[in-house]
Chain A
Amino acid sequence: MTDTKSPPDRRVVLPVDPTRRTEIDKQRVPMSARPYRLLALVKQDAVVRVQKEPDDTVMTWPHLLSIEFLAAGMMSVFLLLMGLFINAPLEELANSNVTPAVAKAPWYFLGLQELLAYFHPTVAGVLTPLLVLVGAGFIPYIDRGNLTATRPSERKTAVVLFTMFCALGLTLTFVGIFFRGPGYSFVIPYLPFFENSSPGLHFSL
C-alpha cells in the first residue's frame, strides 16, 4: 500500500469521464512525481488475517507408506520363516470316547479356564467374559474425568486400573499355560526336584 495523500495540484487529468473516475484513477500520479505506484487499495477491514499454524504434516507417500510397506514386509518374512520351520500342531483324529490327559482351551481363553478352577462355571465362564467385553466397550463413557488428558501422569486411575486388569489376565493365562498339567492339576514344569513336577509343557498352540 502506498501513501494515499498527495497534493491536489500534482494530479494528472486522465482521459476518463470525471464522473466515472475510480478511486485508483484519482490516486494516479506521474512516475516522475513519485517513484512508486499504487497497485491496489485495500480497506483495513477487508484484510483477513490468517493465523497460519506451522505445518507439522508430511506427505503420506512416501513417509507413511514406506513404514507400512516395511512393517508388512517384515511381518511377511517372519510368517514365512515361522511357517517353514515350525509346523502347526495336529494330533490324532478327534475321538469323543478318549479324553486326553490335558484338555486346554486356546491360549486367549486360558485365563477364563484358569478362573474355572476357582469359581463356579457361571461366574468364570459366562459372567466374567461378558463383563469384561461390555466393560471394555464402556470405557470411553466411564472415563469422563479429564477429557483432554492423555499423559499417563494426568490419568493415573485409568492407567493403574487397566494395568492391573492386564496383569491379572496375563498372570492367569501364564499359570494356565505353564503350571497346569494332567486333569488341570497344578504342576511345576521342568524342575524334577519338586513333588508335582512335570517333564514338559502341557500346552500347544
Chain B
Amino acid sequence: MSFLERMDQSIRRSMAWRTLFRQPYPNDERSRAYAVMNNVFLHIHPVRVRQHAVKFAYTFCLGGLSFFLFLVLTITGVYLMFFYVPSATLAYTNILDIQSQVTFGLLTRNIHRWGAHLMVFFVFLHMMRVFYHGAYKPPREFNWVVGVVLLFTTIMLSFTGYLLPWDQIAYWAITIGTNMGGYAPLINTPVNRLLLGGLEVGQNTLLRFYVLHIMFFPLVAAIFLAVHFWRIRKDGGISGPL
C-alpha cells in the first residue's frame, strides 16, 4: 500500500470524516439514495428523477443555471461590498480602487457584471423554454406566476445594481429608467419621489438603490426561489416530455 493510499484510508476512517459524511462514497442504489436524501444541498432533488428530466436538450439546464448565476452573483457581490461605500462622493473612487487596488477586484467586478447580464438573459430563456413546453399547465399554474415574480425580481436586481458604479452610463440610464416611472398616471409624483428620494438622481437614490440591490431584492428572490423549487417537487417534478 502506497503512502497516498494509507493517508486516504486513515482520513476516511477518522472520526471527523465519518461524522461529516456518515457513509462511504455512494456506489450502490441505496447509498446513492441516502447521499441525495441526507445532504442539505442535494435534498431539493428527489432520490429518483424521470428519465426525460435528465435529458439536456429538454431543459438546457436554464433554470438551474439561472440559480447558479444567482449564487455566483451573491458570492462576488458580498466580496465587492467590502470595498464599496454607497456615497455619491466615494462610490466612483471605490470602483476605481476595486479595479486597481483590491486583490482580484477587477476580475470579481467583471464576473459580477457579466453574470448579472447572463442571469437576466437566462431567466428570459428559461421562461421561453417553459412556455414552449406548455409546462405552466395544471398543476403548475401558480409556479409560473412565481416565475414571473422571479423574472421581475431579477430585472430589478440588475437595474438597481446598474446605478452603483456612479458613472455616466449608470447615472443617465437610471435617469431614463426612473423618468418612465414618472409618467405613471395618478401616482407619478409619489412613485418618482419614492424611487429617487428627491427631485433627481442623487445621494438618496444611490442609497435606496444600494439597499434594494444588496438586501431587499436578494431576500425577495431567495424567498420566491424557495417557493419555486418547493412547488416543482410538489407538482410532481418537471413537466413531462412533448
Contact status of A83 and B171, CB under 8 A, knowing A68-B61, A151-B242 = no
Q: Is A92 a contact of B131 with CB atoms below 8 Å?
A: no
A141 contacts B141, CB within 8 Å?
Answer: yes
Are A122 and B185 closer than 8 Å at their CB atoms?
A: yes
CB–CB A71/B113 < 8 A: no
> Does A193 count as interface, using CB distance less than 8 angstroms?
no
B64 at interface (Cβ–Cβ under 8 A)? yes
B82 within 8 A of A: no
Output the least CB separation between B218 and chain A (Å). 18
Convert B31-74 into 0s and 1s, putting 1 for each residue whose CB lies closer than 8 angstroms to a CB of A. 01101100000100111111111101000010011001100100
Chain A residues contacting B72 (CB-CB under 8 Å) are 75-76, 79
Tell whether A183 is near chain B: CB-to-CB under 8 Å: no
Chain B count of residues within 8 A CB distance of the other chain: 90
Q: Least Cβ distance of B239 to chain A in Å?
A: 7
Let me know if B166 is at the binding interface, CB within 8 A: yes
Q: Are A140 and B159 in contact (CB under 8 A)?
A: no
B117 is an interface residue with CB less than 8 A from chain A = yes
CB neighbours of A79 from chain B (8 A): 72, 111, 114-115, 118
Q: Is B86 an interface residue (CB 8 A)?
A: no
Stretch of A26-34, A39-47, A107-115 at the chain-chain interface: A107-115
Q: Are A150 and B140 in contact (CB under 8 A)?
A: no
Once the chains bind, are A61 and B32 in contact (CB under 8 Å)? yes
Check B168 against A80 for contact (C-beta < 8 Å): no
In the bound complex, residues from chain B placing their C-beta under 8 Å from that of A65 are 36, 42, 45
List residues of chain A with CB within 8 A of the CB of B51. 56-58
B135: nearest residue on chain A (CB-CB)? A150
The B interface is mostly helix, strand or loop, or mixed, namely helix
Instruction: State whether B120 touches A71 (Cβ < 8 A).
Output: no
Interface residues in B104-126 by Cβ distance below 8 A to A read: 106-115, 117-118, 120, 124
Interface of A is mostly: helix
A187 to B120 alpha-carbon distance, docked (Å): 27
Contacts of B88 in A (CB 8 A): 94
Stretch in A4-12, A14-22, A131-139 with 4+ CB within 8 Å of B: A131-139
- Selected interface stretch from B5-13, B16-24, B173-181, B208-216: B173-181
Known: A105-B177, A122-B184. A82 touches B110 (CB 8 A): yes
Q: A58-B49, A65-B42, A99-B172 are in contact. List 14 more A-B contacts (CB 8 A).
A: A56-B50, A56-B52, A57-B50, A57-B51, A65-B36, A82-B110, A86-B110, A88-B109, A90-B167, A93-B92, A103-B175, A136-B148, A140-B140, A162-B128
Q: Which residues of A contact B (CB under 8 A)?
A: 56-65, 67-68, 71-72, 75-76, 79-80, 82-84, 86-96, 98-100, 103-109, 112-113, 116, 120-122, 124-126, 133, 136-137, 139-141, 143, 147-152, 155, 158-159, 162, 166, 204-205
24 pairs across A/B with beta carbons < 8 Å? Answer: A56-B51, A57-B51, A58-B51, A61-B26, A67-B56, A76-B72, A82-B110, A86-B114, A90-B167, A93-B92, A93-B167, A94-B92, A104-B176, A105-B176, A108-B124, A137-B148, A139-B136, A139-B144, A140-B137, A149-B134, A150-B239, A150-B242, A152-B132, A204-B169
